Amino acid sequence: MTDYQLLIPVFIFLVAALYASVGHGGASGYLAVMGLLSVPSIVSRPSALFLNLFVASIAAFKYHQAGFFDRKLFIKFAALSIPMAFVGGRIQISPDTYRLALGAVLLVAALRLAFDLKESNKHFAAKWIPALFIGGTIGLLSGMVGVGGGIFLTPLLVLFGWSDMKNAAGISAMFILVNSAAALASKPTDLLSLSTDSVFWVASAVTGGILGASLGSRRLSTLTMRRILASVLIFAAIKMIAF
């Protein structure tokens, strides 16, 4: 293995652990790491979605096991996001547009990780039409860029009072899982572009995901470490947008 090939599994472990702690799969983090290490997008995009399947599955299971999952609320947002993630995965965008879109996603991810969300004192039932619109929009963007969409859904669920933080994490984990699967299903041949080192990446992601989801579902705060990762994401975003 080259030096960067040795570094990637280590960073994937850290990203998976920190993202899973808040119910996320980590795709934006994996894309940031691979972008910084100059892994081509033809490899990084399907790889990030593929790793998402494993980490989001673990996070979804852990949060559901802990009692943090609202099935009805999940369905409202996922019903349109799944087909739209499939459509997004089929859309071809230019390399420059992809870099700008990914840079913007990384900035959103950094903000999401850097701050603890303040839960609303009042909870409201999400209406079907807004939920379908939001879910569909997130699904389309997620499929195009190669992320699961949890970085967008979680803050919306909490800030609009549709869910508490823990249930939002559980819902987002499942949301990420189905969106990632839909985006990959739209271009199954992309899986042929996966690196020969993918087995090591998956092992690192699964190990980190189990650790992070276990700690996160048990209310352990990882804010300081998440802020360190946020700094890395900001650096990667600047690299994507400016160079």
| Segment 178-218, tens digit of pLDDT | 999 999 999 999 888 888 889 999 999 999 999 988 888 77
The answer on pLDDT for 8 being more than 70 is: yes
- The pLDDT confidence band at residue 21, using thresholds 50, 70 and 90, is confident
For the chain, give the percent of residues with pLDDT over 70. 95
- Global pTM reads 0.90
When pLDDT is cut at 50, 70 and 90, the band that residue 3 belongs to is: low
Torsion of CA 16, 100, 145, 233, to 10 degrees: 10
Rounded Cα–Cα distance for residues 25 and 54 (Å): 8
Burial 89-108 (b: 16+ CB within 10 A, else e): beeeeeeeebbebbbebbbb
For residues 176 and 212, give the distance between their C-alpha atoms in angstroms, rounded to a whole number. Answer: 16
Q: Where are the domains of the chain?
A: 3-242
Buried b (16+ CB within 10 A) or exposed e, 120-144: eeeeeebeeeebbebbbbbbbbbbb
What pLDDT score does 165 carry? 85
Q: DSSP state, 220?
A: -
- Whole-angstrom distance, CA of residue 64 vs CA of residue 10: 28
99-140 confidence digits (pLDDT tens): 899 999 999 988 888 887 777 677 889 999 999 999 999 999
Q: Please report which confidence band the pLDDT of residue 242 belongs to, taking 50, 70 and 90 as the band edges.
A: confident
Q: Which two tokens stand for residue 79?
A: 């019903």
pLDDT digits (tens, 9 = 90+) for 42-96: 899 999 999 999 999 999 999 999 999 999 999 999 999 999 999 999 998 898 8
d(CA 8, CA 183): 23
Q: pLDDT value at position 106?
A: 92
For 53, the 3-state DSSP assignment is: helix
| pLDDT tens track for 161-177 | 999 888 999 999 999 99
- Residue closest to 183 by CA, chosen among 19, 15, 12, 52: 52
Q: pLDDT class for 41, splitting at 50, 70, 90?
A: confident
Average pLDDT, the chain: 89
Report the C-alpha gap between 95 and 59 in whole angstroms. Answer: 31
